[in-house]
C-alpha cells in the first residue's frame, strides 16, 4: 500500500507542475500581447506625427512658392513658372498673366503631404501686391 500512495503522490506532483507551466505560458502570452499592442500604437503615433510635420513643411513650401513667383515676376514679367526640388520635397509654380496682374498657383509636396496655394498679384508701381490668397490641402498618398 505504501508503494501505491507514493505513486499517487508522484503523479500529483507531476500534474501540479503541468498546471504551473500552463499558467506561466498563459501569462507570458498575455504580456507579449500587451507588448505588441503598445508597440503597434507607438508606431501608429509616430506615423501620424511624421505626417503632421510633413503637412507643416508643405504649407511653408507652398507659401514660399508664391514668394518665389513674386520675386521671379519682378525680374522677368514673362516668367511662367518652374519647379524646384529640395531634399525633403518640391515646389511647382505656375504663373499666368491676367488683365489685372498675375494668377499664381504653387504646389508643394513633401513626404506624404501636398499643399496648394493660389495667389493673385496686381502691379503697383514697381512692385507686385498680393490681393487674393487661397489654399487647398490634399493627401498625396
Across 8-35, b (16+ Cβ under 10 Å) vs e yields eeeeeeeeeeeeeeeeeeeeeeeeeeee
Task: Assign 114 a pLDDT band (cuts: 50, 70, 90).
Answer: very high
- Residue 108 confidence (pLDDT): 94
Q: Which candidate, 50, 71, 59, 70, places its Cα nearest to that of 116?
A: 59
- Residue 5 confidence (pLDDT): 66
pLDDT digits (tens, 9 = 90+) for 23-77: 889 999 999 999 999 999 988 899 899 989 999 999 999 999 999 999 999 999 8
As a whole number of angstroms, the distance between CA 94 and CA 92 comes to: 7
- Residue 81 confidence (pLDDT): 93
Per-domain boundaries in the chain: 2-139
pLDDT digits (tens, 9 = 90+) for 65-106: 999 999 999 999 899 999 999 988 999 999 999 988 999 999
Q: Is the pLDDT of residue 139 over 70?
A: no
Q: Is the pLDDT of residue 14 over 70?
A: no
Amino acid at each position: 500500500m505504501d508503494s501505491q500512495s507514493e505513486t499517487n503522490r508522484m503523479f500529483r506532483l507531476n500534474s501540479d507542475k503541468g498546471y504551473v507551466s500552463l499558467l506561466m505560458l498563459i501569462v507570458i502570452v498575455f504580456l507579449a500581447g500587451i507588448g505588441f499592442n503598445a508597440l503597434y500604437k507607438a508606431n501608429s503615433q509616430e506615423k501620424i506625427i511624421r505626417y503632421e510635420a510633413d503637412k507643416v513643411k508643405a504649407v511653408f513650401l507652398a507659401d514660399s512658392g508664391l514668394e518665389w513667383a513674386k520675386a521671379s515676376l519682378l525680374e522677368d514679367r514673362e516668367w511662367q513658372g518652374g519647379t524646384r526640388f529640395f531634399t525633403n520635397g518640391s515646389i511647382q509654380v505656375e504663373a499666368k498673366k491676367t488683365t489685372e496682374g498675375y494668377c499664381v498657383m504653387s504646389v508643394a509636396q513633401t513626404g506624404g503631404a501636398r499643399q496648394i496655394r493660389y495667389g493673385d498679384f496686381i502691379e503697383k508701381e514697381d512692385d507686385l501686391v498680393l490681393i487674393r490668397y487661397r489654399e487647398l490641402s490634399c493627401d498625396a498618398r
